[in-house]
Structure 1
Amino acid sequence: MFLREVRIENKHLNTRQYPFSIPVIRNLESLTLNQPVTFFVGENGSGKSTLMEAIADKCGFNTAGGGRNNYYEIDAQTSALAHYVRLSWLPKVTNGFFLRAESFYHFASYLDTLDGGTGPYGGTSLHEQSHGEAFLSLFTNRFNKKAIYLLDEPEAALSPSRQFTLLRIIYDLTETGECQFIIATHSPILLGFPNATILSFDDEKIEEVRYEETDHYRLTKYFLNNRERFLEELFSDEE
């Protein structure tokens, strides 16, 4: 464990203005992290990525995706929330990575501009690999000990079987006691990681929930167990 607490200070601004127009962000004062793996879950627009980006910014990571030493301009900007965020570390680490699935293409392009930039990623351009293979190449070649990793929807390019591969990578890294993960996800597979903290961003505040209490688990389980009924209800013309 490295990052222990996230605090938001000086929230005296107009609450109608982004990012404090987001209820979760407006209502958040502090967030304690007490497990090596923490998940952010919630509906689109609930504030997960906004908080994740602010944490990445305060860690010194490229907000378009990357680590502290990855400099490229595409989509990179200072987080609107980062100015109000304070991080508490024990101890502080500078090594790590911010994976932003939506801008991973730009990170891969940036690597191609560097002399030997693909070396740490298996020696092959990430653009020459499938999307899922490129993600796993990043995880297996770039992720190592004594670091914090912020992953925003890493399942976006991963098949179910590849998600299990990612779970094993996370397990192996956290077993060393020298890695911490914060992951925003919609994947019921990733959320099943043992002993992880799951923080729900729904209902206008952040609350810890059990795996079985997440919509991701409940809806997926209901669909798999009642597929025909579920689809019949979904496609029904009745209000």
Structure 2
Amino acid sequence: MINKSSPIPIYHQLEERIKTEIEEGSLKSGDLLPSEREYAETFKISRMTVRQAISNLVSNGYVYRKKGTGTFVSQKKFEQILPGLTSFTEDMKRRGMVPSNELVEFSILPAPEEVAHALDIKNSESVYKIERIRLADNFPMALETTFVSKHRIEGITEEIAHTSLYEYFESTLNLNIDHATQLIESSIINSEEKKLLHMKTGDPVLLIQRTTYLDDGTPLEFVKSVYRADRYRFMIDMKR
């Protein structure tokens, strides 16, 4: 129930109540929330208070509004805890989901300047470019473009590009992956990405750039990824 004598604002109490129902599963993805009027009548509070609670839930991605229809529970976001270097395949398997790839491009080309800098090679050196849609239970989660120096890693084929590259690096080539540096920023989906990820114009995405290193400090791969912000989030565990 809503405690009107509590120092906690009423809108926040309602917000937390709805959030708990979502997290505990009594409200599931795609469920239609009661209307502002229904919430107001149930808890004997103003519709303005209800509107504030719902607006906060929309801002935090728990629910979304559909014009003329109502407010619905959002798809659950997958959370990756940082630090911790895992591949997409490992991450999805850990969640009990089936990972898969759709290969968009497999090519060998001279390293672009940004890629050459990240991999510490010359611009003229050849790199593998592997662009893939990463899926979980056949749902597109991210568009990932990986660059690997052909001089350092021989033998990557289109067939291998359909599988986990980390598994190939570690199990087949016996390479020791040590760490990675990663940059995350927010953006808006572009026209090419929205088609591949089944998104709409203006939808938010997370742009991620990662350089992965072997145990001797050699750069192994440079990866640029576009993650659906409506399905993915990152949590960082920080220690002083």
Q: TM-score category by the smaller chain?
A: under 0.3
Q: Which has the higher helix share?
A: 1
- Normalization by structure 2: what TM-score? 0.23
Name which one, 1 or 2, has greater alpha-carbon Rg: 2
- Normalization by structure 1: what TM-score? 0.23
Structure with the greater relative contact order (CA < 8 A, sep ≥ 6): 1 or 2? Answer: 1
